[in-house]
Structures are given as C-alpha cells and as structure tokens.
Amino acid sequence: MKKKIQINLNFLDLLILLSILFSVTGYLLARAEKTQLNKIIEGKGNIAIEILVSDVFSPNTELFTVGDKSAITIRNRPYTKLKIIKSESSPKRIVIPSLSGSLHKTIPDPTRDHVKDYIVTLTDEALVTNDGYVIGGNKIKIGNPIELEGFNYRLNGKVINLYPLTEKR
C-alpha cells in the first residue's frame, strides 16, 4: 500500500521559502568572505572628534570637564557616552573695524557677558573605511550636527575636526 504525499504550495509559501534560501546563501557567502561587504572596513582605531558648540549662555565656565563622559546624538539617533579628552572655551567676540577699513581688532563682547563658544574633543573607537570613520553605524565627517548631553546641559554642535589617536589595527 503506497501513500502519495501531496504538497500544496501557494504563492506566499513560495516567497517565504525563497527568502529563507537567499538569506542563508547570503550569510554563508559573507562568512566565507566571497562578497565585497567585508572589504569595506579597513580596520579599527581610536579617533578624536572636535565639536564646536557655539553661543552657550551659562555663567558656569567649567561646563565640560576633562575625563567626564558626554552622551552624544548623531542625526537624531542616540549613540553612547564618549569621554571628554579636551575642552576649550572662549568668550563671544566682536570685530571693531578701523576707519581706514584695512585693519580691525576683536574684543570680548560686553553685551553678552556669559555667552561662550566651546571646542570639546571626545574620543571613541571607530571603524575605518576608505572614505572616512564610522561610529555607531553613522559615518562621521566634518560638518555633521551632533548633540551633546550631560547632567546639566543639552547642546547642539558641529564636528569641526577628526583625527586618529592611534594607528589602525
């Protein structure tokens, strides 16, 4: 007595079966390094990220303390807390032109006593690619807007410099 096994496949079952097959094939090819996916990342390295935070109104001159950590948000996606390795502040300045027009000088703005500009340097381990650094799944380049958040501040800034702290490994 023979029993025939009858399989009924509809279109949705076929799509699910093909997607599983393609997923497994792609995973196995990536693990065997037969795709270009693994060749994009050239290495890892520690980088320094300099961020300009402009027009901060605060009587507190030690807003960013070296050694503390500041949470960052890149392109409206929270990333993590990064260590502050350097912090510089300067008062807002105004330009006073001379009568001849060729010379000028800058002085601290007396109308904006507690307004300062900060340059904060953070450090993180980044993936190095052929066209820049990647942290938290985001390419980071000069001009990227970044939000810094600490215990008593939440400020917007822009990346003004990136440089490696150690060699690639």
Q: What is the DSSP string of 4-52?
A: -------HHHHHHHHHHHHHHHHHHHHHTT-SSGGGSEEEEEEEEEEEE
Query: What's the pLDDT at 69?
Result: 93
Query: What's the pLDDT at 155?
Result: 93
**Residues near 18 by beta carbon (within 8 Å), at least 6 away in sequence:** none
Query: What's the pLDDT at 131?
Result: 83
pTM score? 0.70
Longest Cα pair distance anywhere in the chain, in angstroms?
111
Query: What's the pLDDT at 34?
Result: 52
Residues with pLDDT less than 70, the chain = 1, 32-39, 101, 166-169
CA atoms within 13 A on the CB side of 139: 9
Q: Domain 41-164 carries which CATH code?
A: 2.40.30
Query: What's the pLDDT at 73?
Result: 93
DSSP 8-class letter at 64: S
Q: Which helix (H) or strand (E) holds 85?
A: strand 77-91
CA distance 33 to 27: 10
Q: Where are the domains of the chain?
A: 41-164
Query: What's the pLDDT at 168?
Result: 44
Query: What's the pLDDT at 36?
Result: 52
Query: What's the pLDDT at 163?
Result: 93
Contact 71, 141 (CB under 8 A): no
CA distance 169 to 162: 18
